[in-house]
């Protein structure tokens, strides 16, 4: 029994020594490529691109594939854990340099705000025109429904204790528009309106794949609420005051809804009329442009939320509200349709 145990122990020791020898030979045969790749990756990670020779840059993809192959072999042959960990780390680092993003966050933001967002918006101008017409139509529909039957107001704009209802006096409506200081109800309404419009913006884009039909309905449905509010305040001679109250944040928020609806329509139109491309190819191309637009819509909604929470509450004069609101609108129009700087395509290094 002792002799049998000794023999088994010797076999195990021999197997360990053979595995170690095999791992050493494997590493020796390929270590030159590993070290060269590691040196290139380290210099690139430190931003020392000018110190890398042209032949090293050209060899980077080949070295990456070579080391990735070594990692695959090492896993299949169960080489030592240290070698596996080293190769896995090196392959991961090299992958980000070969296939990963070529720019930093700041350079991406520079390109995005430096022209990429504006170009994407201009590319969907037809859908923007359709979305604008639908929003105007929805506003008119909401106004006319309430004008002919005030009960429509409750269907479009649930009161939930809000004093702005048919039959409210001009003084009650005016108190909401100008009684900003300490108005908890005003803040709640502002947050509710922002949340509602943000949800509509996201849905307009997300449902665009259904050939653009849901965005059409959402744009109309959302602006009927606006039409109902305009009707209510016009009946008491406060239409301009309401427009001023809404304009500080509304010019940005409604513009964002318009863009999101146009983005959804753009995707739907591309799928319904793909032209010479397949439906998937047309949808993918349109989706890329629409995604850039929607990234900007998120930024606009954040800006609208800040304006809603600060500017509209602090400015208590209708004229000043109109000036601020439509100055912001002029800024957006100039940015999208006049600012056309071509952003850099790569980092300086």
Residue 14 has, within 13 A of its CA and on its CB side, a CA count of 6
Per-residue model confidence as pLDDT tens digits over 205-232: 777 666 667 788 888 888 998 999 999 9
For 183-213, how does the pLDDT look when each residue is reduced to its tens digit (9 = 90+)? 554 555 556 656 666 777 777 777 766 666 7
Distance CA 110, CA 343 (A): 7
Confidence of residue 312 (pLDDT cuts 50, 70, 90): low
Structure confidence by residue, pLDDT tens digits, 82-135? 778 888 888 888 887 777 665 666 777 888 888 899 999 999 999 999 999 999
36 pLDDT more than 90: no
Dihedral, CA atoms, 77, 83, 85, 89, nearest 10 degrees? -110
Q: Are 190 and 304 within 8 A, CB to CB?
A: no
* Residue 264, φ and ψ in degrees, nearest 5: -65, -40
Closest to 258 in 3D by CA, of 137, 115, 108, 116? 137
Question: Given this model, what pLDDT does residue 219 score?
Answer: 86
Angle separating helix axes 81-98 and 54-76, nearest 10 degrees? 140
| Distance separating alpha carbons of residues 265 and 225, to the nearest angstrom | 21
Sequence-distant (≥ 6) Cβ neighbours of residue 67 within 8 angstroms: 30, 33, 34, 37, 87, 90, 91, 94
> What is the rounded distance in angstroms from the CA atom of residue 8 to the CA atom of residue 292?
66
pLDDT of residue 228: 92
In this prediction, residue 124 carries a pLDDT of: 92
Which pLDDT belongs to residue 11? 56
The pLDDT score that the predictor gives to residue 238 is 92
Burial class (CB in 10 A: 0-12, 13-18, 19+), 162: middle
The pLDDT, as a whole number, for residue 275 is 81
Residue 168: the pLDDT is: 84
Is residue 41 a contact partner of residue 61, using CB atoms and an 8 Å limit? no
pTM of the model: 0.68
With 0-12 / 13-18 / 19 or more C-beta atoms within 10 angstroms meaning exposed / middle / buried, residue 348 is: exposed
**Section 250-261 average pLDDT:** 91
Smallest CA-to-CA distance from 241 within 322, 313, 318 is with: 318
- Averaged pLDDT score across all residues of the chain: 79
Residue 344, pLDDT score: 47
Q: What is the pLDDT of residue 235?
A: 86
User: In the prediction, which pLDDT does 167 show?
Assistant: 80
Q: Which residue has the tokens 């500017």?
A: 311
């Amino acid at each position: 029994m002792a002799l049998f145990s000794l023999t088994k122990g010797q076999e195990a020791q021999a197997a360990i020594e053979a595995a170690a020898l095999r791992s050493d030979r494997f590493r020796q045969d390929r270590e030159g490529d590993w070290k060269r790749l590691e040196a290139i990756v380290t210099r690139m990670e430190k931003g020392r691109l000018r110190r890398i020779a042209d032949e090293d840059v050209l060899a980077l993809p080949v070295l990456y594939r070579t080391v990735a192959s070594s990692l695959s072999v090492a896993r299949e042959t169960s080489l030592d854990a240290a070698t596996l960990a080293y190769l896995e780390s090196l392959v991961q680092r090299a992958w980000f340099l070969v296939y990963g993003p070529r720019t930093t966050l700041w350079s991406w933001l520079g390109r995005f705000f430096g022209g990429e967002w504006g170009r994407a918006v201009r590319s969907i101008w037809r859908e923007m025109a359709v979305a604008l017409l639908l929003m105007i139509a929805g506003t008119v529909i909401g106004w006319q429904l309430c004008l002919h039957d005030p009960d429509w107001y409750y269907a479009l704009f649930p009161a939930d204790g809000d004093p702005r209802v048919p039959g409210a006096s001009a003084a009650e409506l005016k108190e909401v528009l100008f009684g900003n200081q300490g108005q908890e109800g005003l803040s709640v309404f502002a947050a509710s309106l922002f949340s509602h419009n943000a949800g509509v913006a996201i849905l307009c884009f997300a449902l665009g794949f259904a050939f653009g039909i849901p965005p059409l309905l959402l744009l109309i449905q959302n602006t009927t609420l606006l039409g109902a509010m305009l009707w209510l305040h016009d009946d008491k001679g406060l239409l301009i005051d309401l427009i001023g109250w809404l304009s500080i944040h509304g010019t940005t928020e409604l513009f964002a809804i318009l863009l999101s609806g146009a983005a959804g329509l753009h995707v739907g139109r591309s799928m319904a009329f793909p032209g010479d491309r397949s439906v998937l190819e047309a949808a993918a191309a349109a989706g890329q442009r629409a995604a850039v637009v929607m990234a900007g819509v998120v930024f606009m909604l954040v800006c609208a939320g800040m304006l809603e929470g600060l500017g509209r509450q602090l400015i208590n004069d209708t004229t000043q509200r109109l000036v601020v609101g439509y100055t912001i609108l002029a800024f957006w129009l100039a940015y999208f349709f006049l600012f056309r700087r071509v952003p850099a395509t790569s980092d300086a290094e």
